[in-house]
A and B are shown apart, each in its own frame.
Chain A
Amino acid sequence: MGLLSLGTPMHWDEAKKYADHVRTHGIIQFLNLWEATKDSQKDCLLWGDEIEYMVVSYDEENKKAKLSLRVWEILQELAKEEEEAAKDPAKKLLVNSSWHPEYGRYMLEGTPGEPYMGLPRDLLEVERNMKLRRELAYKFMKPNEVPITLTSYPRLGCAGEGLEPHHDPHGPAARSLFVPDDIINAHARFPTLTANIRRRRGAKVAINMPIFHDKNTPKPFIDPTIPTYNDYPEDKNAIEEGAALPDHIYMDAMAFGMGCCCLQITFQAVNVEEARKIYDQMAPLGPIMLALTAAAPIYRGYLSDVDCRWNVIAQSVDDRTEEERGLKPLKNNKYRIPKSRYDSIDSYISNDPSNKPEYNDIPLVFDEDIYKKLSDNGIDNLLARHISHLFIRDPLVIFHELLNVDDNESTDHFENLQSTNWQTMRFKPPPSKTSPIGWRVEFRSMEIQLTDFENAAFAIFIVLVTRAVLSFNTNFYIPISKVDENMKVAHHRNAVLDEKFYFRKQIFPQSRPGTPAAGTPFGSPKLSHATLPRSTATHSNTHSNTSGASLAPGLDRSDEYELMTINEIINGAPSKGFPGLLGLVNNYLNTLNIDIETRCEISKYLELIKKRANGTLMTAASWMRQFVQNHPDYKQDSVVSDKINYDLVKMVEKINKGEVQVPELLGTFSV
């Protein structure tokens, strides 16, 4: 979750006075960092994954699966292991992981101890390391505790005994009707973040996910389980003020979103231009991979009509005021802001000539003073737009002790805003001027899968796609408004099979003007542009066609893309001459010198991706829906009871241990 500084955090009333201070110094820090690292050149690929776990505590007597709130103790044990491993080379291999707290007090985040390298053989390390991490986590669990990789916890926020130990809801930070503040990581940063989002917004966050209407679900569905309180002004939000929508599952706290788990992949690029290229090329894949990894169909004890977590998190940290959301005329606020801080990216940032101005087709809100400051200091248009867009947000957590820092050394204020812009992609500068780490890109849309085998498969697939992208010099650009439309569609129930997504038709550079690459249909000649050889393309430092920060009117590019199924996007459409992402990856792999063992292992992972995309195998979301709907306790009323939840979690645990076969989810793959 980014930076975890220690100190005394400010209440929003005080923090807002320092917002400009943090932004001003954040930009100075970025410029200092830029000056020192803009020419940084690395010569190898390094990458890593992040796995987030929920720790479940079984109450076997009452057949309940509760969230365990003692993760802090587990993390302390894991930290000790890490320390010992750092001193003892023999232990290093046994630990080889790094552990971090997350938003939820029941959550763990584990990353590999050292980044993976770019060789095919290193890919075999991924699943092994994920398994090692899970074993290590197990080691510090009580006998009735288990680390599971569920994206959203089905009964988070339900009345009754869902937490271990029990706490009543309705604490002062979140003021939630459903969850206590004790569910939030105790580090001062997290309750403050929670409270300051509420304070800035002027109300509690309001998350509404459509209910899945089953045979016996009342219509309209008015949730009878929403409790009433009379302690805080926000207690009126839900019912009296109408925040809880009919036919929706209503949630009112950051924990419902930031308490979700996901699978994130970070790559180190060789230089800043390559990082910007990967950022842009991977951005259109965000919604595709979200739908393909869908694993979050249940919220607060109800089956929903969405399969993914993304919008839940977006709404759970939406700190925009009514003015910013366009519900009231602007008076106290500076901008109308179309999206939450947690959302899909708003602009492409690469200077590659294939990035046409028309692709940045959504109006970008950005801070003009900051844009000017960046421009005046030599930052090109696209990057200046990106940074000054991130900086329209207010810093939410400011520590007294860190208010005044040396802008030459610290990046705290920059990171304060950078790390609370949670978008589908993240463009990350080196951590400091002197760090050996280079420019990085994070791919953030994927949902966590139930098993390490699946998580390894998706992690490996994504890293292979980046390699194919760079090797083939692909072009996945579509107007960014279409990526946003895809993002919405990706949430729909069973979107992976039932929906279509905008995708670019011609994904190879056209090496000769007005001509197709071999065997493909091609766009209208007026749109084709010769592509510069890679060496010049990636080192180009100017973006020829954009001036200032306004939207260029430009060409109509609607014949460059079309609606495709995920099966077509992943597995290809031979009749259209479209190879699919897996086609690209296989063609890439066929050119490498790969030993047979590595290739056979990689083939299994790719086979999983193929079968998820063509519907042979279910997504975790579909499988969980099926599990609930087939459960003897299920009454066709959308309700996921304690008992169903318990059995589901037990089942997920057994799948992980290989004790039960679920061919509809995993085929014959062994986990």
Chain B
Amino acid sequence: MTAVQATDDIHNGQHYFTNGKANYHGNGTQNRDRVLPAAFSKDVFSHLTLFTGNTMVTGTTGLLNTSLKKSNQELVSAIDHALSWSLESAQIHGRAITIADSSTLGPLEEDRSKYEITVKLFFLSPHGSSEPLSVDHLHNAIQHLETALAATSTNIKIDHFILAIPNQTFDENELDSSEIEHFTEDVQSLYLPIWKRLSELRQTGKIGRLGVSEFSKQQLEILKAAAVQVEAVVPEINQVNLEDCCVLPKGLIEYAKAEGIELLTHGDSSDILPKSTLASLLQPHLAATSVSLLEPNFVLKYSVLISSRGLISRKGYIVDAGSE
């Protein structure tokens, strides 16, 4: 399947994914040359959705040179890998392009009850943005996840959902009164709408446990107070990065214990996909106009574990960028 055909498919009204399943079997992924499709150099795209492959089996995750440090190396390699191998099979719909690594999307092999699905949604609103985190982005993200796992909106179940708000980094220092006020305002105006929506998903059972990332004790308290006021659920998980996880303030540990908040570790960079990083990844593949239009909206990271066996079945990212 070439890009031109892909475009034709779209003109014929054929959607990229049918029946919730990737429909690009036998599209010649074997032995094809890595020639960049010329058609894309002219097309202008204002929206991009990119599904990386299963980073567990592409070598992307295994090859990381990780120690106890935060990094977005995995995401960068995964995007690069997807662009190198899946661009020819991209689906185009007007000015929207969807790139997906065909090898690893689709339904889970075994019974759903054997798996534990964890999702972390990184919001990438530009720094200092005064817009609330978009509930639409959340819906899109969950829809993309359904696509990746060939699930449907009725049967999707996310065991752990972590909301990563933009530019949030763990700070062990106490907030002073103006910082408290500032954060309280941000929670009210920027985060509460999405938290309420997540809370509904938690209450209907689509989300198992709901949490945040890189919050200090005071920040957890502020979010809790705001949530209680609107009868939303309170955070149940707080992720802390590997650099800080062994030297956490006692206050946070005790608070978490008292509140039943799980403190889990993560190795994600606090700015997981800066605009410049995405631009330099896209630059060899897309027209300059497209590259400049495509600002990252969110990154959804998902992993599928078989906990009883201590195995990771799948891990991948979904990147959403646009100019809207």
Chain B associates with chain A:
yes
User: Min CB distance, A44 to chain B, in Å?
Assistant: 4
B53: chain A residues at CB < 8 Å are 511
Q: Is there an interface contact between A595 and B265, defined as CB atoms closer than 8 Å? A: yes
B312: chain A residues at CB < 8 Å are 471, 588, 591-592
Which residues, 59 to 111 on B, are CB-close (under 8 Å) to A?
59-68, 77, 80-81, 85, 103, 109
Interface size on B, residues (CB 8 A): 49
The verdict on B266 contacting chain A, using a C-beta distance below 8 Å, is: yes
B315: chain A residues at CB < 8 Å are 591
Mask, B290-324, CB within 8 Å of A = 1, is 00000000000001010111111101000000000
Q: Is there an interface contact between B63 and A593, defined as CB atoms closer than 8 Å? A: no
The verdict on B43 contacting chain A, using a C-beta distance below 8 Å, is: no
The verdict on B287 contacting chain A, using a C-beta distance below 8 Å, is: no
Mask, B222-248, CB within 8 Å of A = 1, is 000000000000000000101001101
Which of B62, B63, B109, B248 is the one whose CB lies under 8 Å from A535?
Answer: B109
Q: A518-B63, A596-B240, A600-B246 are in contact. Are A471 and B58 (CB under 8 A)?
A: no
Closest B residue to A578 by beta carbon equals: B63
Q: Is there an interface contact between B62 and A596, defined as CB atoms closer than 8 Å? A: no
A530: chain B residues at CB < 8 Å are 30
Closest A residue to B247 by beta carbon equals: A600
| Alpha-carbon distance A467/B56, docked complex (angstroms) | 12
In this complex, which of A587, A588, A592 has the most chain B Cβ atoms within 10 angstroms of its Cβ? A587
Q: Is there an interface contact between A472 and B264, defined as CB atoms closer than 8 Å? A: no
The verdict on A603 contacting chain B, using a C-beta distance below 8 Å, is: yes
Closest B residue to A468 by beta carbon equals: B62
Closest A residue to B248 by beta carbon equals: A596
Which residues, 488 to 523 on A, are CB-close (under 8 Å) to B?
507-509, 511-514, 517-520
Q: Is there an interface contact between A472 and B263, defined as CB atoms closer than 8 Å? A: no
Which of B66, B77, B80, B309 is the one whose CB lies under 8 Å from A590?
Answer: B66
A595: chain B residues at CB < 8 Å are 262-265
Q: A118-B310, A467-B311, A534-B57 are in contact. Are A43 and B63 (CB under 8 A)?
A: no
User: Min CB distance, A104 to chain B, in Å?
Assistant: 35
Q: Is there an interface contact between A518 and B60, defined as CB atoms closer than 8 Å? A: yes
Q: Is there an interface contact between A508 and B63, defined as CB atoms closer than 8 Å? A: yes
The verdict on A599 contacting chain B, using a C-beta distance below 8 Å, is: yes
A470: chain B residues at CB < 8 Å are 309, 311
Q: Is there an interface contact between A596 and B56, defined as CB atoms closer than 8 Å? A: no
The verdict on A572 contacting chain B, using a C-beta distance below 8 Å, is: yes
Q: A508-B62, A583-B64, A596-B264 are in contact. Are A118 and B240 (CB under 8 A)?
A: no
A583: chain B residues at CB < 8 Å are 62-66
The verdict on B20 contacting chain A, using a C-beta distance below 8 Å, is: no
Closest A residue to B256 by beta carbon equals: A596
User: Min CB distance, B70 to chain A, in Å?
Assistant: 10
Q: Is there an interface contact between A519 and B266, defined as CB atoms closer than 8 Å? A: no
Q: Is there an interface contact between A518 and B103, defined as CB atoms closer than 8 Å? A: no
User: Min CB distance, A533 to chain B, in Å?
Assistant: 8
The verdict on A363 contacting chain B, using a C-beta distance below 8 Å, is: no
Which residues, 58 to 106 on A, are CB-close (under 8 Å) to B?
none
Closest B residue to A598 by beta carbon equals: B265
Q: Is there an interface contact between A511 and B59, defined as CB atoms closer than 8 Å? A: yes
Q: A511-B103, A520-B59 are in contact. Are A574 and B65 (CB under 8 A)?
A: yes
Q: Is there an interface contact between A520 and B309, defined as CB atoms closer than 8 Å? A: no
User: Min CB distance, A470 to chain B, in Å?
Assistant: 5
Which of B57, B62, B64, B309 is the one whose CB lies under 8 Å from A44?
Answer: B309
Which of B64, B68, B118, B248 is the one whose CB lies under 8 Å from A587?
Answer: B64
Which of A117, A591, A596 is the one whose CB lies under 8 Å from B61?
Answer: A591
B248: chain A residues at CB < 8 Å are 596
Q: A588-B312, A599-B245 are in contact. Are A594 and B63 (CB under 8 A)?
A: no
| Alpha-carbon distance A513/B103, docked complex (angstroms) | 13
20 A-B pairs whose Cβ atoms sit less than 8 Å apart in the complex? A43-B114, A119-B307, A471-B56, A509-B59, A517-B58, A518-B58, A518-B60, A519-B59, A535-B109, A577-B63, A583-B62, A583-B64, A583-B66, A587-B62, A587-B64, A587-B66, A595-B265, A596-B240, A596-B245, A600-B245
12 further interface pairs, Cβ-Cβ under 8 Å (given A596-B246, A599-B246) = A118-B308, A120-B310, A470-B311, A474-B62, A511-B59, A514-B31, A518-B77, A588-B312, A591-B61, A591-B315, A592-B312, A599-B245
